[in-house]
């Protein structure tokens, strides 16, 4: 039976593993930390989708909202395909044991920015954690799937090095327990490594989000697409924090309103609801529930103009009992900081959240190379892939949906078109390499990288700032390359090498864009 290596243990990787093992394929999941350490596990809001196959109107509205949020750059064929397959894939999740919130017999549906209707299934305010729990439990019960945790994918092994059209035959990876490099053979490799939020100083992503899979594939000749479109979430908590904590958009879906200092003052002294005082109305009639690009930019602009460190999310006009029932994890986090839902204004600010661009893939998740042909046996699924679903801006809660639809399509494609690799995989070449003792230069380089991306490649950009970032990235790339060529890999080195490469792709794409669309906003183009 074919052997498949999946890199990453978020929703896309685990879902694909279960589909492949059902057909008797041997699956090895390689994951950097514990199986549950993924962006999926941190997803709060939910998964968008129309369950009822006969609800054509509902599907058309979901398609329409996705296209409109994507600001003209979505691939409509892909959007239609994902929305159409949503019901079947969400039913797959249910049969695996995911427990979505119910309201009597029906699922309880919520709304987030850019959605014209309630169509998001959720598990209170910890949807991703519930999905991750159920998928990991099914994976651990399978005899055909083995989980290699604390193992970091380093590079792809091509059948013929430098000839991507000949296909893939495995990966080199680093055991973070033993520090040793290992070659894993595979008939197919599915990259499901998520995004790269660690490029910015403030991110809602876990520490594993360092763009590893994207960098590995690009080094093997894959093409990245739409990298300029990096989504910042408007509402990450700014209280007492070292690490930003996401305040789900579903809270604004239930009526939470964003105010600046002046608006908060007016609201406190006025006699109407907070909506009319929101600065977000200057950007869109949808106010606090406009699409994420619009709201994040409005917050960023307001903070820059006023010099404030945050804006405020107010919920005291809403029914507190309902809020506590729906958002227990947020409430518990807030309580530790002396805050509470339905009472206190919450200090929030945008934070790096989701990589909308990624590896260019076809409708079956096959990763495309420079010549626009797929590398046989190589697939990209989940956040790492750019399918065309999100265009210039991802509609909230469409990412978990896209992940399961494409995980399924990639698995089915490989099942129907198996490839067998008979060759042995080459060992990692370690002769002449030294053990890296001092990691301090890498730490400093990582700080410089994050500062550069935060200052120069953030929510609002300019050509001069982007050029400055490019110069800095060239320097960093040379430094990292020097260390890479003479040292045996460590996690810090592998991640920094990947992050610098991904940062260059983002910055180059942003520099080349001649118009503002969706998440890409260059003030020289206004
Ligand atoms: C959120 O809960 O606000 C995030 C959901 C998403 O990124 O789609």
pLDDT for 371 beyond 90: no
Contact 249 CB / ligand 1 (< 6 Å): yes
Domain carrying residue 275: 234-350
Mean pLDDT on 194-223: 97
Catalytic-role residue among 148, 252, 292, 366:
292
**Mutation probe of ligand 1 site: the residue of 396, 398, 403 with most atoms within 8 A of C-beta:** 396
Q: Does 20 fall in a domain?
A: yes
Report residue 391 as tokens.
């265009």
Q: What is the CATH number of the domain that holds 492?
A: 1.20.58.100
Q: Among the listed ranges 42-46, 236-240, 325-329, 476-480, which one has the minimum average pLDDT value?
A: 236-240
Q: Cα(414) to centroid of ligand 1, in Å? A: 30
Last residue of a domain, one of 350, 371, 387: 350
Q: Does 103 fall in a domain?
A: no
**Run of H or E residues at 374:** strand 374-380
Q: Under a CB-based contact definition with an 8 Å cutoff, are residues 377 and 48 in contact? A: no
Last residue of a domain, one of 395, 416, 437: 416
**Do 33 and 141 reside in the same domain of the chain?**
yes
Q: Under a CB-based contact definition with an 8 Å cutoff, are residues 21 and 413 in contact? A: no
pLDDT band at 242 (very low <50, low <70, confident <90, very high): low
Predicted TM-score (pTM) above 0.95: yes
Q: pLDDT over 70 for what percent of the chain?
A: 100
Q: Under a CB-based contact definition with an 8 Å cutoff, are residues 141 and 319 in contact? A: no
**Do 17 and 156 reside in the same domain of the chain?**
yes
Q: Computed over its alpha carbons, how large is the radius of gyration of the chain?
A: 22
Q: Under a CB-based contact definition with an 8 Å cutoff, are residues 425 and 169 in contact? A: yes
Q: Under a CB-based contact definition with an 8 Å cutoff, are residues 450 and 469 in contact? A: no
Length of the chain: 526
pLDDT digits (tens, 9 = 90+) for 53-93: 999 999 999 999 999 999 999 999 999 999 999 999 999 99
Residue reference for tokens 């964003």: 258
pLDDT digits (tens, 9 = 90+) for 25-60: 999 999 999 999 999 999 999 999 999 999 999 999
Instruction: Please state, in angstroms and rounded to a whole number, the distance separating the CA atoms of residues 105 and 100.
Output: 12
Q: Does 55 fall in a domain?
A: no
pLDDT for 436 beyond 90: no
Active site residue 118: no
**Do 313 and 456 reside in the same domain of the chain?**
no
Q: Cα(250) to centroid of ligand 1, in Å? A: 8
Mean pLDDT on 368-387: 96
pLDDT at 89: 98
| Helices 76-96 and 56-69, axial angle in degrees (round to 10) | 120
Q: What is the CATH number of the domain that holds 301?
A: 3.90.700.10
**Do 285 and 434 reside in the same domain of the chain?**
no
Contact 397 CB / ligand 1 (< 6 Å): yes
**Do 369 and 345 reside in the same domain of the chain?**
no
pLDDT at 241: 63
**Which atom from ligand 1 is nearest to the alpha carbon of 127?**
2
**Do 238 and 225 reside in the same domain of the chain?**
no
127-to-51, 167, 197, 315, 471 alpha-carbon distances in Å: 17, 36, 20, 21, 41
pLDDT at 430: 79
**Cβ partners under 8 Å of residue 243, min gap 6:** none
Q: Under a CB-based contact definition with an 8 Å cutoff, are residues 238 and 244 in contact? A: yes
Q: Does 53 fall in a domain?
A: no
Report residue 45 as tokens.
């809001």
**Run of H or E residues at 124:** none
pLDDT at 494: 98
Last residue of a domain, one of 350, 366, 390: 350
Mean pLDDT on 213-236: 98
Q: pLDDT over 90 for what percent of the chain?
A: 94
**Do 262 and 306 reside in the same domain of the chain?**
yes
Q: What is the CATH number of the domain that holds 370?
A: 3.50.50.60
Contact 158 CB / ligand 1 (< 6 Å): no
**Do 499 and 398 reside in the same domain of the chain?**
no
Instruction: Please state, in angstroms and rounded to a whole number, the distance separating the CA atoms of residues 20 and 25.
Output: 5
**Do 281 and 373 reside in the same domain of the chain?**
no
Q: Does 257 fall in a domain?
A: yes
Contact 339 CB / ligand 1 (< 6 Å): no
pLDDT at 239: 84
**Run of H or E residues at 447:** helix 440-456
Question: Number of structural domains, the chain?
Answer: 3
Per residue in 218-254, is it b (16+ CB within 10 Å) or e — as a string? Answer: bebbbbbbbbbbbbbbbbbbbbeeeebbbbbbbbbbb
Q: Under a CB-based contact definition with an 8 Å cutoff, are residues 419 and 376 in contact? A: yes
**Do 383 and 435 reside in the same domain of the chain?**
no
Q: Under a CB-based contact definition with an 8 Å cutoff, are residues 350 and 299 in contact? A: yes
pLDDT digits (tens, 9 = 90+) for 458-516: 999 999 999 999 999 999 999 999 999 999 999 999 999 999 999 999 999 999 999 99
pLDDT digits (tens, 9 = 90+) for 98-117: 999 999 999 999 999 999 99
Contact 45 CB / ligand 1 (< 6 Å): yes
Instruction: Please state, in angstroms and rounded to a whole number, the distance separating the CA atoms of residues 520 and 342.
Output: 34
**Do 385 and 410 reside in the same domain of the chain?**
yes
**Do 28 and 170 reside in the same domain of the chain?**
yes
pLDDT band at 439 (very low <50, low <70, confident <90, very high): confident
* Average pLDDT taken over every residue of the chain: 96
Q: Does 156 fall in a domain?
A: yes
**Cβ partners under 8 Å of residue 421, min gap 6:** 159, 167, 169, 170, 185, 186, 187, 377
Longest dimension (CA), the chain: 75
């Amino acid at each position: 039976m074919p052997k498949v290596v999946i890199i990453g243990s978020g929703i896309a990787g685990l879902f694909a593993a279960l589909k492949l093992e059902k057909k008797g394929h041997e699956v090895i999941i390689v994951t950097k930390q514990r199986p549950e350490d993924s962006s999926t596990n941190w997803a709060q809001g939910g998964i968008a989708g129309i369950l009822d196959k006969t609800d054509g109107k509902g599907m058309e509205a979901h398609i329409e909202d996705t296209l409109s949020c994507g600001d003209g750059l979505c691939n409509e064929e892909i959007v239609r395909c994902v929305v159409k397959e949503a019901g079947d894939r969400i039913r797959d999740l249910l049969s695996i044991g995911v427990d979505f919130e119910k309201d009597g017999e029906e699922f309880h549906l919520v709304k987030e920015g850019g959605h014209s209707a309630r169509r998001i299934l959720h598990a209170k305010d910890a949807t991703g954690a519930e999905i991750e729990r159920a998928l990991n439990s099914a994976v651990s019960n399978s005899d055909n799937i083995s989980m290699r945790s604390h193992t970091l994918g380093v590079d792809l092994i091509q059948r013929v090095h430098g000839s991507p059209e000949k296909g893939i035959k495995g990966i080199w990876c680093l055991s973070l327990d033993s520090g040793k490099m290992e070659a894993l053979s595979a008939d197919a490799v599915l990259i499901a490594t998520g995004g790269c939020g660690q490029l910015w100083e403030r991110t809602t992503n876990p520490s594993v989000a360092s763009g590893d899979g994207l960098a590995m594939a690009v080094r093997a000749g894959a093409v990245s697409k739409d990298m300029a479109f990096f989504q910042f979430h408007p509402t990450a908590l700014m209280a007492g924090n070292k690490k930003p904590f996401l305040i789900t958009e579903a809270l604004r879906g239930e009526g939470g309103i964003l105010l600046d200092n002046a608006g908060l003052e007016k609201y406190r002294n006025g006699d109407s609801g907070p909506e009319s005082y929101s600065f977000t109305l200057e950007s869109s009639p949808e106010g606090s529930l406009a699409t994420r690009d619009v709201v994040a930019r409005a917050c960023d602009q307001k903070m820059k103009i006023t010099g404030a460190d945050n804006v405020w999310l107010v919920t005291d006009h809403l029914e507190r009992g309902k809020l506590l029932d729906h958002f227990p994890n947020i409430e518990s986090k807030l309580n530790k900081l002396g805050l509470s839902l339905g009472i206190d204004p919450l200090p929030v600010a945008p934070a790096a959240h989701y990589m909308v661009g990624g590896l260019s893939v076809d409708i079956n998740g096959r990763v495309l190379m420079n010549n626009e042909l797929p590398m046989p046996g190589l697939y990209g699924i989940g956040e790492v892939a750019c399918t065309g679903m999100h265009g210039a801006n991802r509609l909230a809660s469409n990412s978990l949906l896209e992940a399961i639809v494409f995980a399924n399509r990639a698995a089915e494609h490989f099942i129907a078109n198996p490839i067998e690799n008979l060759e042995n995989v080459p060992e990692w070449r370690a002769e002449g390499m030294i053990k890296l003792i001092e990691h301090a230069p890498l730490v400093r380089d990582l700080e410089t990288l994050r500062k550069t991306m935060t200052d120069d490649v953030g929510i609002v950009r300019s050509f001069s700032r982007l050029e400055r970032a490019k110069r800095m990235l060239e320097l960093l790339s040379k430094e990292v390359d020097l260390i890479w060529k003479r040292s045996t890999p460590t996690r810090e080195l592998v991640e920094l090498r990947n992050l610098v490469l991904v940062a260059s792709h983002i910055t180059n794409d942003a520099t080349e864009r001649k118009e503002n669309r969706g998440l890409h906003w260059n003030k020289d183009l206004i």
